[in-house]
Structure 1
């Protein structure tokens, strides 16, 4: 590992250029870029516009890059005479040509767009899948910003988290919100609803269905307890008739089917009807 002395404010600090392996190119590129930029050597690798590259800086940057390579890779790029050529050659080797890289990135973007939270999937598990997608982006030299991650998270959560999403979108600027903040708000809401049994989780949905069933059973029980459309009430124990109320006359102590007022009214009505029939018959005669 190459050791590069760095003088900052009179103190000597050793900055180590990481060794490049077949599996760590993205991490190596990030660290190498930062170290070269600290020594003002990055301009030799990626010059700005038509800027003239300083020859000494170019040689120094090239030497630092070659010092991070194992023997087989070193022999393949040793013919590159500038730091930029060495860097571009390594990029093509580990990432691919621009067209290949663009095709891989397009495929990855499609996978990200299709990513959804599965039914019954825990929030932390889904966040883990988002983190894996972020790592895949980084392996291609691209990044997933907080804005894209927050939007994906809010757009793909299940229905029981929609009230929290509505609150976040109404009171927060999601374009500037950090992903960890959005995740923390959703996690807090999820835990609260699970605690109250309102999210259709392990017990909430069963309890809700049980309540509906109980109400239905109660309605059936009350309906069967009524006589002739609600004429009697359910009585328990001795003296139930004393507590029952007649739905015909309103008095306690009997049911509507036993109500004498009802019978008297029926007799009066029957006599009146016979009288009317008799009058009509008499007129016809």
Structure 2
């Protein structure tokens, strides 16, 4: 499916991975269009779609309100459909509302509490044992490490800044020992910002 956008906001195509990040970006897009409430809460649809609204005794304002919701919901549904891969699309193709579609994806990819706990434990393990490889550049390693950190944040696990700084410094290859020594001797590890450490390391590399 084609990518979707909300003004300048663009959602990546969801292919089954990194659901939490995708969900956050999609929610921002829905909010930018003023349709997040429809996606999150849905709205009442007349029991008989075949009946004309006039036959149901609705006032002009009620008819206009329903028409507006139907249009906005169709827009939200189109945004979701346009932001999933061809492999994911069949799972939602028969759903006619944005909330129903959103709920299907959430139920399948968000997982229950136990599943999320298992995934988080795996990420914690990967983070603690991650080390820079001898043939790896600083940029590649930082991307790999910070991707793990961001994935953990997706499961509401915020690592302390000091922990991140220490992890970075002790996980580098031996060629970075001199600059790590200088940082440890001249900086307060408890207060230094991660970006400041990264800047020093990039300067050394």
What TM-score results when the alignment is normalised by the length of structure 2? 0.56
User: What SS class does the counterpart of residue 169 from structure 1 fall into?
Assistant: coil
State yes or no: 1:150 paired with 2:169: no
1:212 is aligned to none
Q: List per-residue Cα deviations over 1:76-111 (Å, max 9, x = no partner).
A: 224556534422422444464442232122111122
Using a 3 Å threshold, how does the CA distance of structure 1 residues 187 and 75 change in structure 2: closer, same or farther?
A: closer
Is 1:105 matched with 2:105? no
Query: Which structure 1 residue ranges, 5 or more long, are not aligned?
Result: 7-12, 48-52, 192-285
Question: How far apart are 1:138 and its partner, in Å?
Answer: 4.7
Task: Give yes or no for contact 2:3–2:10 (8 Å, CA) kept in 1.
Answer: yes
Inter-CA distance 59–115: structure 2 relative to 1 (3 Å threshold): same
Change (3 A) 1:163 1:101: same
Cα deviation for residue 21 of structure 1 reads 3.6
Question: In the superposition, relative to structure 1, how do residues 150 and 71 fare at CA in structure 2: closer, same or farther (>3 Å)?
Answer: closer
Rate the CA distance shift 1:116–1:66 in 2: closer, same or farther, 3 A.
Answer: closer
Q: Shift in Å at residue 73 of structure 1?
A: 3.6
SS at match of 1:173: coil
- Give the Cα separation in 1 of the matches to 2:139 and 2:158: 14
Partner of 1:135: 147
Do the aligned residues in 2 keep the contact of 1:65 with 1:83 (CA within 8 Å)? yes
User: What is the CA–CA distance in structure 1 between the aligned matches of 2:102 and 2:165, rounded to whole Å?
Assistant: 34
Q: Distance in 1 between matches of 2:114 and 2:96?
A: 25
CA contact under 8 A between 2:16 and 2:88: conserved in structure 1?
no
Higher Rg of the two aligned structures: 1
Residue 164 in structure 1 maps to residue 183 in structure 2? yes
Q: Is the 8 Å Cα contact of residues 17 and 31 (structure 1) preserved in structure 2?
A: yes
Distance verdict in 2 for CA 1:20–1:167, change over 3 Å:
same
- 1:38 counterpart residue number: 32
Aligned to 1:198: none
Tell me: CA distance 1:130–1:69, structure 2 relative to 1, closer, same or farther (3 Å). closer
Contact 2:4 2:82 survives alignment (8 Å): no
Superposed CA deviations along residues 92-137 of structure 1, whole A, max 9, x for unmatched, are 444644422321221111221233457xx58x74663342133345
Give the conservation status (yes or no) of the 8 Å contact 1:46–1:84. yes
| Cα distance change on mapping 1:77 and 1:183 into 2, 3 Å | same
Task: Give the aligned partner of residue 91 of structure 2.
Answer: 76
TM-score in terms of structure 1 length: 0.44
The one of the two structures with greater contact order (alpha-carbon pairs below 8 A, sep at least 6) is 2
Alpha-carbon separation, structure 2, partners of 1:150 and 1:99? 30
Matches for 1:50-69 after TM superposition, within 5 Å: 56=69, 57-58=72-73, 60-69=75-84
RMSD: 4.2
